[in-house]
């Protein structure tokens, strides 16, 4: 899936929502390894300005410390969903973001708490109070 579907039925012409694309290539993840980062309780958010204002790209990763394949996939599914809900409205166009899951936390934290943490992390990266 190269793009996330962020439009609801009847919401096809909304200009305030950004289109999300997936980061898939290792080189993109490596560029973000040296970018700005915010550590939250449930995940780490990395962000980098690509310099173009076209689309917002996002990637997800969970190491083996998070758990077995089932636990990693569950954590990544939850990260994908909060990104789908939050980033089109509050992310910055032309930026790449990577969400990194944390062991024993990402898969068990309440979903609303994950959303709040992502909003707080984005505000911190963007320098907003």
pTM for this model (two decimals) = 0.82
The tokens describing 55, both together, are 């689309």
Residue 115 sits at φ, ψ, to 5 deg, of: -65, -45
pLDDT tens for residues 31-54? 888 889 999 999 999 999 888 777
Taken in order 51, 29, 88, 125, the sign of the CA dihedral is negative
Please compute the mean of the pLDDT values over residues 102-113 and round it to a whole number.
92
Residue 36 sits at φ, ψ, to 5 deg, of: -65, 150
| Domains present along the chain, CATH in parentheses | 20-123 (3.30.230.10)
**Left if phi > 0, otherwise alpha if psi is -120 to 50, otherwise beta: which for 51?**
left
CA-wise closest residue to 47 among 98, 102, 109, 121 = 98
């Amino acid at each position: 899936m190269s793009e996330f579907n962020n439009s609801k039925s009847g919401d096809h012409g909304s200009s305030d929502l950004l289109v999300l694309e997936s980061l898939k290539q290792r080189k993109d993840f490596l560029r973000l390894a040296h970018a700005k980062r915010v550590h939250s309780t449930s995940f780490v958010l990395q962000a980098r300005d690509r310099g173009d204002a076209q689309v917002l790209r996002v990637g997800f990763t969970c190491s083996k410390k998070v758990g077995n394949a089932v636990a990693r996939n569950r954590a990544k599914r939850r990260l994908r969903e909060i990104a789908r809900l939050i980033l089109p409205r509050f992310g910055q166009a032309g930026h790449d973001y990577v969400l990194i899951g944390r062991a024993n936390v990402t898969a068990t934290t309440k979903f609303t708490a994950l959303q709040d943490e992502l909003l707080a992390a984005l505000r911190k990266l963007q320098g907003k109070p």
